[in-house]
Structure 1
Amino acid sequence: MDLPSVDYFKRQTVHRLPYAGGISTEIAPVSPETTNIAVLNRFARDRDLVSLPVVSLGVPVGLIHRNTFMSEMSTPESQEMYGPQSCVTFMNRDPLIVDEKLNLEVLSFRVVDHGEQTLAAGFIVTRDGFYSGVGSCLRLMRMIADLQAEKNRQIRHSIEYAGVIQQALMRAARETLAKTSNDSELVWEPRDVVGGDFYHFARFQDGWFGAVADCTGHGVPGAFMTLITSSLLVQAIEHCSPQDPAAILSELNRAIKRLLGQAGPREDLGQSDDGLDGAFFWFDDAKRTLTYAAAKTPLFVLNQDSDDFVVVDGDRMGVGYVDTPMDYQWRTQVIDAPQGTLMFVTTDGLVDQIGGPKQTAFGKRRIRESILAQRNERADVIGMSVINAYSLWQADQPRRDDLTFLCFRP
Structure 2
Amino acid sequence: MEKLGKNILIDLSAGGMIGFSILHPVSMLIQHGVNVLQHPIGHYFFSSMSLYFTLLGCFLGILSGVFRIKLQNQNVRLKEQQKIINEQNQSFEASITYARHIQDSMFTKEQEIKQYLPECFILHKPKDIIGGDLYWFRKIKGKYFFAAIDCTGHGVPGAVLSMIANDLLNEIVTEFKIYSPDLVLNKLHLLFRQTLHQDKNGNMDGLDIALCCFDKKARRIEYAGAKNPLIYIQNKQIQIIKGDRISIGGYNGFNSPGFTKHILTVNEPSMFYIFTDGFQDQFGYDDKGKFKSHRFRKLLLKIHELPYIRQKLELDRTFESWRSTEPQTDDVLVIGFKVG
Any conservation in 1 of the 2:233–2:271 contact (CA below 8 Å)? yes
Letter in 2 for 1:148: I
Per-residue CA deviation, residues 329-374 of structure 1 (Å, 9 max, x unaligned), is 1111112222411101111001111116652221222222222223
The equivalent of 2:297 in structure 1 is 368
**Do structure 1's residue 287 and structure 2's residue 215 form an aligned pair?**
no
C-alpha distance in structure 2 between counterparts of 1:357 and 1:198, whole Å:
30
RMSD after superposition? 3.4
Any conservation in 2 of the 1:250–1:329 contact (CA below 8 Å)? yes
Q: What secondary structure is seen at the aligned counterpart in 2 of 1:136?
A: helix
C-alpha distance in structure 2 between counterparts of 1:283 and 1:354, whole Å:
34
**Do structure 1's residue 162 and structure 2's residue 93 form an aligned pair?**
no
Any conservation in 2 of the 1:243–1:291 contact (CA below 8 Å)? no
Alignment of 1:3-402 (within 5 A): 27=1, 44-45=8-9, 136-170=73-107, 172-263=108-199, 269-270=201-202, 272-303=203-234, 305=235, 307-321=236-250, 323-327=251-255, 328-355=257-284, 358-402=287-331
C-alpha distance in structure 2 between counterparts of 1:43 and 1:222, whole Å:
55
Question: Which has the larger share of helix?
Answer: 2
Per-residue CA deviation, residues 69-122 of structure 1 (Å, 9 max, x unaligned), is xxxxxx978xx9xxxxxxxxxxxxxxxxxxxxxxxxxxxxxxxxxxxxxx9986
Any conservation in 1 of the 2:222–2:263 contact (CA below 8 Å)? yes
Letter in 1 for 2:98: Y
User: CA 1:255/1:120 → structure 2, altered by over 3 Å: closer, same or farther?
Assistant: farther
Letter in 2 for 1:326: F
Letter in 2 for 1:244: S
C-alpha distance in structure 2 between counterparts of 1:44 and 1:389, whole Å:
62
Q: What secondary structure is seen at the aligned counterpart in 2 of 1:203?
A: strand
| CA apart distance, 1:185 | 0.8
Q: What secondary structure is seen at the aligned counterpart in 1 of 2:138?
A: strand
User: CA 1:177/1:121 → structure 2, altered by over 3 Å: closer, same or farther?
Assistant: same
Letter in 2 for 1:141: L
C-alpha distance in structure 2 between counterparts of 1:190 and 1:375, whole Å:
24
C-alpha distance in structure 2 between counterparts of 1:42 and 1:281, whole Å:
77
Per-residue CA deviation, residues 222-253 of structure 1 (Å, 9 max, x unaligned), is 11111222112211222444531111112111
Per-residue CA deviation, residues 297-332 of structure 1 (Å, 9 max, x unaligned), is 0111111x3x421100001111111x1122211111
C-alpha distance in structure 1 between counterparts of 2:300 and 2:137, whole Å:
23
C-alpha distance in structure 1 between counterparts of 2:320 and 2:196, whole Å:
36
Paired residue total = 297
C-alpha distance in structure 2 between counterparts of 1:329 and 1:120, whole Å:
73
Structure-1-length-normalised TM-score? 0.64
Any conservation in 1 of the 2:285–2:326 contact (CA below 8 Å)? no
Letter in 2 for 1:351: Q
Letter in 1 for 2:124: W
Per-residue CA deviation, residues 258-289 of structure 1 (Å, 9 max, x unaligned), is 2212125xxxx34x321111111211122211
Q: What secondary structure is seen at the aligned counterpart in 1 of 2:214?
A: strand
Q: What secondary structure is seen at the aligned counterpart in 2 of 1:310?
A: strand
Per-residue CA deviation, residues 155-174 of structure 1 (Å, 9 max, x unaligned), is 1122122222222221x353
Any conservation in 2 of the 1:240–1:248 contact (CA below 8 Å)? no
User: CA 1:314/1:45 → structure 2, altered by over 3 Å: closer, same or farther?
Assistant: same
Structure-2-length-normalised TM-score? 0.77
| Deviates further, 366-375 or 391-400 | 366-375
User: CA 1:44/1:399 → structure 2, altered by over 3 Å: closer, same or farther?
Assistant: closer
Instruction: Structure 2: state its 5+ residue gaps.
Output: 13-49, 56-66
Greater Rg over alpha carbons, structure:
2
